[in-house]
Amino acid sequence: MNYILSRNDIPKVLEMWSKTHQVFAPQKYSNFSAFLPYEGKAEQLCLEYPHNTRYPPKALFLPQSEELLSYTKDGQASEPALDAKPKLIFGIHACDTRAMTLLDTVFDAKDYQDPFWKARRESTAIITLGCDEPCSTCFCTTVEGGPFNRQGADIIMTDIGESFHLEALTPKGENLCKDLPYASAAEDRKVSNVQEKATSDMPKAFDTEGLKTALDANFDSSYWEEVQRSCLGCGVCTFLCPTCFCFDIADEAARSKRYRNWDTCMFSVYSREASGHNPRPSRKERTRQRLMHKYSYWVDQIGKIGCTGCGRCVRYCPVGLDIRAMLREAGKLPVEVIHA
Amino acid sequence: MPNQQVSPYTPIPMHLLRSYPESVDGALRSIELSFDNPADCRTFYEAYDPGQFCQISIFGKGESAIGVASAAWEGDFVRFTVQRMGVVTTALHQMQVGDALGIRGPLGNGFPLNEWKGKDLIFIGGGSAFSTLYATVLHITGSSLKKEFGRISVIYGTRSSGHALYKESLKRWHENHEIDLFQTIDNPEPNWPYMVGFVPDAVRAVKPSPNNAVAIVCGPPIMTKFTLPILEDLGFKPEAVYTSLEKRMKCGIGKCGRCNIGPKYVCKDGPVFSLAELHTLPNEL
């Protein structure tokens, strides 16, 4: 069913949802924005920002630093309690919601499941806020998504002016909307206009047709040497990326705990072996790994590109490297040479 | 219940049963670990295939991925042969009998023994990478499995006789001919009765037949690099040559990202790959 949430009612409705859920909403924080617990400070909300929160909401499921276990002196391990509290993410953009469904294929795989990820996913409802004005760094429509993509959402929310239009997509979503007024037929009509316009306004950022073939054929190409020249290897593209999931595992002896922390393929130590050998010794191999993972290896593994076009890596790269330009160039490379 | 055991990141509690040096220089030690909870031992070996590895965990130090070097029939313990390299492996070398530690595993795919049934097996090993080959030979020869395979040969090279692992088993195999063991050392030593020279040359000299045979190559990269062309010259097809790879690993279950070669994770899609499979993957060893 479709419902209406008037702009003025947002604080009230968030309060209402807070009675049954821990509510996370996009909020200003210091000099950036992130999905933070909503504590009644409506003035901090940044639903109107066209671009994504700088800090990616994947952290709500895969925290930047997370305890895996604690241990005693005699070697007894205890696992932290699973987070099964009902949670609600309000106002997350479609690219970030869709990223969770891609990451599910990693953390909720057939062979091994990650209980910490799974518990948070199962206890969280997601209200996607579609983007009526996608910004210049966005390219979701190029990579199998869209500003109103519904994958992973319990409710899809559309800004129709005075109010937001909410379409409940799952029983979880319906349940959240039960105290809201129904949308009128006229309001429903506004939605398709907004959604279609936003989608058709987005230019194609690069051609994905044949891109994987070109990447695979050019693994040993000098292209990688050229493309990485200005890269600082800071890793911000991967830390802020909603589909990057790599982590390190480290013990903190002072706290008697074992943690996992976000890690990045852009750092040398990431793949350096105990012998000193490193299969990715320079930024050339590491840049190649980042792009190949998203645009070739994900496709091999699950048949989908592992990028949702959120644009964070474009927006926040300190030297202005643009993955779209890199892929446009890669797509033009010759494909005759297939690596042995 | 202190341990909920729902997480694949929680190690099975173990303690050190035995620890002994393998190589003369002390760089390699075998450690044998027993299970705090005896039922875990059965579960472990029921799930185990030779060629698999574990993450050995010491709380406060970390984890290290090491191949299993024992067979189920040997007893209620798991053996690992550990080269002293970093923080965890140094701590493993220094552990005392009874000390607590843990393992996660068995991890990885292991050798496809079912596909190899009825064939001759030629194990080619060098240095410390011999451990999982040794475990595989023990697994086969110590059980009724042996009659399901053809001839079992081992070509094993080390820097010197003192650097060889599992010296008692090697001695036994030399004496009882349970398997065809060809042992080689890099440089001549007085009274050394076996071969002298590098592993690739030993393979050329032994000249194993590729007919209905599988070659399994595990050793330092340089040994593997020069052995593969010789196997090809002898007529071994890429589908009949297997190797076990190593990479920096953390989770061991295909989540943490770092051990990929193209779309394959060495930790869960490997560590065992046929040469034919490796040919389909990017050259990023």
Read off the CATH number of the domain in which B60 is found: 2.40.30.10
ipTM of the complex: 0.93
Q: Is residue B256 part of a domain?
A: no
Cβ contact, residue pair B62, A112, below 8 Å? no
Question: Both B73 and B155 in a single domain?
Answer: no
Q: A–B: how many Cβ contacts below 8 A? A: 136
- pLDDT tens for each residue of B105-124: 999 999 999 999 999 999 99
Q: Using a pLDDT cut of 70, give the percent of chain B over it.
A: 98
Q: A336 pLDDT band (50/70/90 cuts)?
A: confident
Q: What is the mean pLDDT of residues B80-89?
A: 96
Q: Is residue B70 part of a domain?
A: yes
Q: Does A243 touch chain B (CB under 8 A)?
A: no
Q: Does B257 touch chain A (CB under 8 A)?
A: yes
Q: Does B39 touch chain A (CB under 8 A)?
A: no
Cβ contact, residue pair B254, A297, below 8 Å? no
Whether residue B143 is predicted with pLDDT greater than 60 in this model: the reply is yes
Q: Per DSSP, what are the bridge partners of residue B217? A: B124, B243
Report the gap between the CA of B1 and the closest CA in chain A (Å). Answer: 9
Question: Both B165 and B136 in a single domain?
Answer: yes
DSSP string, B35-51: ESSHHHHHHHHHH--TT
Cβ contact, residue pair B247, A265, below 8 Å? no
Cβ contact, residue pair A114, B283, below 8 Å? no
Whether residue A340 is predicted with pLDDT greater than 60 in this model: the reply is no
Q: A72 pLDDT band (50/70/90 cuts)?
A: very high
Q: B221 pLDDT band (50/70/90 cuts)?
A: confident
Q: Per DSSP, what are the bridge partners of residue A66? A: A260
Q: Using a pLDDT cut of 90, give the percent of chain B over it.
A: 92
- pLDDT tens for each residue of B226-269: 999 999 999 999 999 999 999 999 999 999 999 999 999 999 99
Q: Quick one: pLDDT at residue A338?
A: 52
Q: How many domains does chain B have?
A: 2
Question: How far apart (Å, rounded) are the C-alpha atoms in residues A162 and A8?
Answer: 9
Question: Both B223 and B209 in a single domain?
Answer: yes
State the DSSP H helix or E strand holding residue A312, giving kind and residue range, or none if neither: helix A312-316
Strand A65-71 versus strand B100-107 pairing type: unpaired
Q: Which domain holds residue B168?
A: 113-244
Q: Quick one: pLDDT at residue A50?
A: 78
Q: What is the chain A residue with the closest CA to B249?
A: A271
Q: Is residue B185 part of a domain?
A: yes
Cβ contact, residue pair B9, A68, below 8 Å? yes
Question: Both B226 and B138 in a single domain?
Answer: yes
What is the DSSP secondary structure assignment for residue B74, as one 8-state letter? G
B155, two tokens:
């070509």
Amino acid at A102: L
Q: Is residue B282 part of a domain?
A: no
Question: How far apart (Å, rounded) are the C-alpha atoms in residues B41 and B45?
Answer: 6
Q: Kindly list the residues from chain B whose CB atom is less than 8 angstroms away from the CB atom of residue A277.
A: 221
- pLDDT tens for each residue of B26-73: 999 999 999 999 999 999 999 999 999 999 999 999 999 999 999 999
Cβ contact, residue pair A273, B282, below 8 Å? no
Question: Both B98 and B129 in a single domain?
Answer: no
Q: Does B172 touch chain A (CB under 8 A)?
A: no
Q: How many residues in total does chain B contain?
A: 285
Predicted model pTM: 0.94
Q: What is the chain A residue with the closest CA to B85?
A: A274
- pLDDT tens for each residue of A207-263: 999 999 999 999 999 999 999 999 999 999 999 999 999 999 999 999 999 999 999
Q: B3 pLDDT band (50/70/90 cuts)?
A: very low
CB contact at 8 A, A283 and B251: no
Nearest CB to A75 within list B102, B247, B250: B102
CB contact at 8 A, B79 and B169: no
Question: Both B91 and B213 in a single domain?
Answer: no
DSSP string, A20-75: TSEEEEEEEETTEEEEEE--S-GGGB-TT-SSPPSS-GGGGTS-SEEEEEEE-TTS
Question: Both B126 and B188 in a single domain?
Answer: yes
Q: Kindly list the residues from chain B whose CB atom is less than 8 angstroms away from the CB atom of residue A78.
A: 2-4
Question: Both B232 and B211 in a single domain?
Answer: yes
Q: B1 pLDDT band (50/70/90 cuts)?
A: very low
Question: Both B126 and B69 in a single domain?
Answer: no
Single out the residue of B58, B67, B110 nearest to residue B88, CA to CA: B58
Question: Both B127 and B240 in a single domain?
Answer: yes
Question: How far apart (Å, rounded) are the C-alpha atoms in residues B187 and A214?
Answer: 48
Q: What is the mean pLDDT of residues A124-148?
A: 95
Q: Using a pLDDT cut of 90, give the percent of chain A over it.
A: 92
Question: Both B89 and B131 in a single domain?
Answer: no
Q: What is the chain A residue with the closest CA to B4?
A: A79
Q: B5 pLDDT band (50/70/90 cuts)?
A: low
Whether residue B2 is predicted with pLDDT greater than 80 in this model: the reply is no
Whether residue A168 is predicted with pLDDT greater than 90 in this model: the reply is yes
State which of B50, B75, B107 marks the end of a domain: B107
Q: Is residue B86 part of a domain?
A: yes
Question: Both B147 and B166 in a single domain?
Answer: yes
Dihedral angle sign, alpha carbons of residues A64, A66, A68, A73: positive
Cβ contact, residue pair B2, A253, below 8 Å? no
Question: How far apart (Å, rounded) are the C-alpha atoms in residues A272 and A316?
Answer: 27
- pLDDT tens for each residue of A77-91: 999 999 999 999 999
B8, two tokens:
């694949």
What is the DSSP secondary structure assignment for residue A132, as one 8-state letter? S
